[in-house]
């Protein structure tokens, strides 16, 4: 019987990855408890979804900056996560950069998913970047969050073919489908393997 670590989910958008993670928990594919969902956007769909699914959720103001949490907000996020007993933080469309103190407290315990095969196309609208570049394959990348933007050690990747007929919307939808399949697998691996981080490299041994 695997332990059930408590995870906290942070998101700014509609929360489709949170829904996928919740389904995986319900179906026994992800051995974890979603202890808290936090959004930096008061009217974000992710809070409504969390409410519907009976998950504890809260809006926490991010402070005055556009792309990060201010110091006070970061402390508030940390307090709520720790208060809920959260051991792993899982980002699901969270549009703010997490900085030093947060990453020190949750060292190697913040997981993100990015809609490209990193290191190609970090940053915003990665599906559009991929389409503009003319790649024939893109995908998604689950990685540990470090101080950089989309640079941390990679836990899992999945490839997605690009077709000549793709629009940004159709490609984005196909990548999101891959995300919903990959994210629960990768989070399960992170929580229940002995992740070995050496520099940029992330390998896993099955926990005993």
Q: Does 117 bind a copy of itself (CB under 8 A)?
A: yes
> Which residue from 52, 134, 37 is spatially nearest to 93, judged by alpha carbons?
37
**Residue 73 or 154 having the CB closest to a copy of itself:** 154
| Nearest-angstrom CA–CA distance, 191 and 98 | 20
Residue with tokens 């699914």: 53
| Strand ranges across the sheet with 88-91 | 57-59, 33-39, 6-11, 88-91, 110-114, 137-144, 154-161
Q: Is residue 143 annotated as part of the catalytic site, yes or no? A: no
Per CB under 8 A, the segment of 4-12, 30-38, 65-73, 119-127 that binds a copy of itself is 119-127
The contact mask relative to a copy of itself for 189-208 (x = CB under 8 A, - = no) is -----------xxxxx----
> Which residue from 123, 154, 157 is spatially nearest to 137, judged by alpha carbons?
157
Q: Does 164 bind a copy of itself (CB under 8 A)?
A: yes
Q: Does 136 bind a copy of itself (CB under 8 A)?
A: yes
Q: Does 139 bind a copy of itself (CB under 8 A)?
A: yes
3-state secondary structure of 139: strand
Per CB under 8 A, the segment of 10-18, 88-96, 97-105, 111-119 that binds a copy of itself is 111-119
Give the chain's count of helices (H) and strands (E): 6, 9
Which of 57, 114, 143, 172 is flagged as catalytic? 114
Q: Does 177 bind a copy of itself (CB under 8 A)?
A: no
As measured in angstroms, the least distance from the Cβ of 202 to a copy of itself is 6
Count of residues for the chain?
A: 208
Of the candidates 83, 85, 100, 119, which one interacts with a copy of itself according to CB under 8 A? 119
**Crossing angle of helices 168-192/16-26, nearest 10°?**
40
As measured in angstroms, the least distance from the Cβ of 57 to a copy of itself is 32
* Bond into 119 cis (ω within 30): yes
Cβ-proximal residues to 117 (8 Å cutoff; 6+ apart), any chain: 137, 138, 139, 140, 141, 157, 159
Q: Does 137 bind a copy of itself (CB under 8 A)?
A: yes
- Residues assigned a catalytic role: 114
Which residues would be at the binding site for a copy of itself (CB under 8 A)? 117-121, 132-137, 139, 153-154, 156-159, 164, 200-204
């Amino acid at each position: 019987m695997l332990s059930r670590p408590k995870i906290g989910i942070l998101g700014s958008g509609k929360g489709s990855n949170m829904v996928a993670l919740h389904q995986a928990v319900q179906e026994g594919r992800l051995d974890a408890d979603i202890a808290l969902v936090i959004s930096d956007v008061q009217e974000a769909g992710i809070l409504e979804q969390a409410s519907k699914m009976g998950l504890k959720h809260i809006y926490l103001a991010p402070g005055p900056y556009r792309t990060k949490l201010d110091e006070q907000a970061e402390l508030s996020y940390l307090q709520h996560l720790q208060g809920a007993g959260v051991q792993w933080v899982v980002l699901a469309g969270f549009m703010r950069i997490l900085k030093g103190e947060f990453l020190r407290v949750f060292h190697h315990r913040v997981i993100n998913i990015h809609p490209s095969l990193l290191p190609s196309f970090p940053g915003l609208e990665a599906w559009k970047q991929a389409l503009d570049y003319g790649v024939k394959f893109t995908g998604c990348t689950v990685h540990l969050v470090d101080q950089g933007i989309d640079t941390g050690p990679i836990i899992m990747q999945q490839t997605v073919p690009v077709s000549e007929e793709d629009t940004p919307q159709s490609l984005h939808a196909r990548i999101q489908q891959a995300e919903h399949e990959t994210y629960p697998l990768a989070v399960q691996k992170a929580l229940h393997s002995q992740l070995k981080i050496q520099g940029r490299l992330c390998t896993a041994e099955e926990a005993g």
